[in-house]
Amino acid sequence: MTKRVHKPREVAEIVAIQALSFIAGDGERLGRFLAETGIGPETLRASASDPHFLAGVLDFVLRDDATVSAFSESTGHHPTTIAAARMALGDSLPERETP
């Protein structure tokens, strides 16, 4: 049986989706996230496929030590894994076009 090898960006996206699920699991945390991002609950699912959005999810988690600790505890990810995921997303983000 062959073990699937994940690329750093794939792993980063998985961690970010887990972080989004973690955020959505707490009403107060979700409210803060939605207020800070300006994203509405109706567009949350569609936004989850945007690498810029996923990077923002990890930024939100990493801004607060208590949030990092709670997310780490709930997923088993070491805080350095979360930071590495953010860096992997940042390193691979295409430049946004400016109007």
Mean pLDDT of 23-29: 95
Nearest in space to 64 (alpha carbons), one of 96, 26, 11: 26
- Could you report the per-residue pLDDT of 42-70, keeping only the tens digit for each? 888 888 889 899 999 999 999 999 999 99
pLDDT, residue 44, reads 85
Question: Mean pLDDT throughout 20-45?
Answer: 91
Query: Number of C-alpha atoms within 13 angstroms, CB side, residue 16?
Result: 28
Give the 3-state secondary structure of residue 57. helix
> Coil, strand or helix: which one is 11?
helix
